[in-house]
Chain A
């Protein structure tokens, strides 16, 4: 294994409280080590003088793999026509696509931006084997997937029967059987309602055939996650996503985090792509931003975190979500292509191509909401930068978002191009706040690692951490990113050098080596007696509900190219 020393760079590493000091980082056997442990005469020495050194970036929410991504590729051939980069064999495979790129572009583009771990945030249980096939094929980055649990008939049965321990045990089994990392709730209960009745639900509506509400469902999953002691608790996409007035539902959902019986410290609920559920007003014509209210709730409610789902204007998007009823509604707005998939008794999904336009009133409000939430939040540790790729924009545009966060000038330049009527309804023009590079490092490295419970070995550059390092060609002592934000965009778009697990994979913005990262999954332990009881339930329910056998449903470890199993001690009795 190669040894590397990165010398003289400005290091920004919030988890270790390092704020741009010039220091050397040493790497050996894929890990960060003490500089003394590396023999400089045998090591690759990288002179990072005048450059910014950070841990590899972590994206907690980006749709990069699985059935719905592939349906997106299938129904959007036009996404690939003008985006091709020929292969450079044997170092690099061919790349194509923007909103629904092929696996190679996904891995390479993240690497070029200095990101080294990405979470696929929604995989329907029955098709998770497919998700893993794609994750296996994505080069360079480490990855993980969150399993959909909200419209699962088996779980709904257990909630209805009030079998709390069995429900928790079932989720533990499901995480292990699908080799996934966290529990994901999408428009709670709505896919069950969609598959059965063609409906969507609000948080206090009744789930058809079950007679309880999404509120009770979120609470049940939230408490199961507490009992299971899993690192990333629940990842919630709120009810009524995409409808004017839905910010009220989001506030109710966030407040619910206080009602969840918590065991131990930490966040109880993550609200995802909050922009899509931050709409005030009672119609599209009267749409307003609910960003301020949501930021206020976040500031007051210490048990929640959220990510933006930041809209990128004037770029194509492909909306794809397990919120199938919403996609049906969006199809009526776009009147172009619509794909839907009713997925066994687990979930459903919809896919509709979209484009956010700067001249549009609604799209401008949507763009402003994400930034308002981010800028009005007091605690950068609880707000995450995402575009909910490819729903609000492609992940390749993260550097643009960085610029809007660190530079008022960047926002002002953009404000000139957008719908002016919409701006009068937004708080954004009056906000002066500018984040620093240190804050950016928190939002893209340190806090994602903490949120996912992997801060011991990811998201920082301390001794013992994985050697995932990004070096950007920007001198924080010379460049004022608030004024010269374009330089920051350029630097973050193409990292100067990227190291993944000790391998140099990117040099001067270009991929120089194709390696493959790990897939992280958790394995919460289940007490033997409970496991026995669960297996009886599983056998009966699989026979009744599923069209595959229980044995064939379970994903074996050998099906994952590079598995990393994380055992979890639970509070189950």
Chain B
């Protein structure tokens, strides 16, 4: 069998996002999108791959379907983030809390074996509940009074578009004007695949219980834990996050949010050097050069480009007044729109940023190319940046997940700080979940730290690589977990997910996540931003109070109320009843 070395990158794809929001993570279609890898046609031919490829690393392997794509350079493989990719992601975080999700060296070759099913994968991870199909229900929506709700905020990505017009017919959401494809999928399918009843695992299977019983059970698990993990929070409102932090403090446990596996390195870099940020409006009105670095905004933040690159500002008349630069290892859909596309070798972002900083200062770059980019192109880009009137750089997982992680970001921030010696430049991380920024903010004002906050000594500490969720799970440090508004089983490396099979797990969610497969208690919640009100912080730190457009299903409470009740219960178990 011919086997060759490849560089594997994981990332978000539009179809994965859409299926996740429309049909759910347990659906056939979602699984199909996350089990399909993209390879360069030349590599496919060279290896004699038919339709399946086996990818192996450090003794773990997976079999995936192959999609030929010339967006991927030769020698690289792209796989959408999800349960399949995580099978070969290492639980080791190099002491910074985030696994290497990109630029991973793997061996790949034609596969003999069939592609695994979702259930095979979950089973091999030690999942407790595999038969959730029967429990997965749709809310029975009915036509009725027709309403249009204006200025609705979209609870999907960090752009938090707050200008949606949502048309409602009774309890049906029939139209979403202004939202992107994922937003439309999210609103129009809000009623599908819902958790509608509380469950407790009894005698090896999930048993329907009433809410009080489920909360009592959850409180017992938490109160009895020696070191509990509360994780997630980026898909709920700040009012709920505040309660989650308080609960962690009461338990002397850990509270972590999803930035631990996305922009955690960005935070660590800001701790070292600061940042030069902005809210959206200055970009809209002033930016004449916009750079996207390691961010495929067109698929992950679909409205971002239309809002800030295409749109008219006071001093910039839309797209024609702006230069669009894309730096990425893959020729993404966003790269198709760019005036300048810089294809960086996977994992070499630090080298490129350093070369750009050298070019800024007119230092000589000795090597004819850096990170796969010809020297002349680097000088050209540096000149363009230096002569911009107002430059904005948006960066994504392509920079945080690869190679030097926080050192990449540090170099990119330094680049932007130095550009301010010549002109105005700003940068912003492209935050994924609609309120991951809010999760960081709440954590900061309550504890002084943005994520991975440990209370084991009765005061807050943050130790990346120790108190970060992936490390706590992969090292087997925690003995109970409360997962709220997040799905670590879909996004954490295998070793971390396996630990969830060994400890009691509570899941609070509106939809059936893959983590529900590991749950001992499941508590249904309303969808924040659709059924529940609350505040979220846009990726640029602008807080927006989100409306609701329909009521939560009967008997289902919002995260805030659930966490209040859970906290009260835990307090009374500690004898602090108020």
Contact = CB atoms under 8 A, between A and B. Distances in A.
A70 B444 contact: yes
Interface stretch (A76-84, A356-364, A495-503, A522-530): A76-84
Nearest to A332: B421
B420 interface: yes
Contact of A102 (B423, B460, B535, B543): B460
Nearest to A105: B448
A341 interface: yes
Given A339-B276, A342-B278, A74 B249 contact: no
Contact of B542 (A94, A126, A342): A126
Contact of A337 (B274, B450, B571): B274
Interface in A108-158: 126-127, 129-130, 133-134, 137, 153
A504 interface: no
Contacts of A96: 447-448, 459-460
Interface stretch (B59-67, B100-108, B125-133, B281-289): B281-289
A442 interface: no
Given A127-B543, A551-B151, A94 B279 contact: no
B270 A102 contact: no
Contact of A345 (B281, B440, B545, B574): B281
B458 A94 contact: yes
Determine chain A's interface SS by DSSP, over half rule.
Answer: mixed
Chain B, interface residues (CB within 8 Å), range:
35 or more
Interface stretch (A452-460, A481-489, A542-550): A542-550
A102 B576 contact: no
B238 A133 contact: yes
A165 interface: no
A338 interface: yes
A547 B448 contact: no
A20 interface: no
B116 interface: no
B274 A338 contact: yes
B72 interface: no
B153 interface: yes
Given A338-B274, A339-B276, A547-B279, A102 B445 contact: yes
Nearest to B311: A547
A70 B460 contact: no
Contacts of A196: 286, 390, 424
Given A137-B242, A549-B151, A129 B535 contact: yes
Interface in A49-103: 65, 67, 69-71, 73-77, 79-80, 84-87, 89-90, 93-97, 100-103
A74 B271 contact: yes
Nearest to B282: A342
Interface string A539-573: 00000111111011001100100000000000000
Interface in B410-447: 417, 420, 423-424, 426, 440-442, 444-447
A188 to B, nearest CB: 19
A130 B543 contact: yes
Contacts, number: 178
B272 A559 contact: no
A343 B458 CA distance: 36
Interface of B is mostly: mixed
Interface string B133-155: 00000000000000000110100
B448 A86 contact: no
A443 interface: no
A351 interface: yes
B286 A133 contact: no
B276 to A, nearest CB: 5
A77 B271 contact: yes
A47 B284 CA distance: 63
A42 interface: no
Interface in B12-50: none
Nearest to A90: B576
Most buried by A among B276, B450, B574: B276
B455 interface: yes
B280 interface: yes
Contact of A80 (B242, B270, B460): B460
Interface string B459-484: 11110000000000000000000000
Ranked 6 nearest A-B pairs via Cβ: A86-B458, A342-B278, A84-B459, A547-B280, A337-B274, A339-B274
25 contacts: A75-B274, A84-B457, A87-B458, A89-B576, A93-B246, A101-B448, A126-B279, A129-B544, A133-B543, A137-B446, A197-B424, A328-B420, A339-B274, A339-B277, A341-B278, A342-B278, A342-B282, A342-B424, A545-B281, A545-B285, A545-B314, A548-B162, A552-B151, A552-B162, A552-B545
Given A73-B445, A133-B238, A548-B544, 9 more contacts: A65-B445, A75-B271, A77-B462, A89-B574, A103-B445, A133-B543, A195-B282, A339-B277, A341-B277
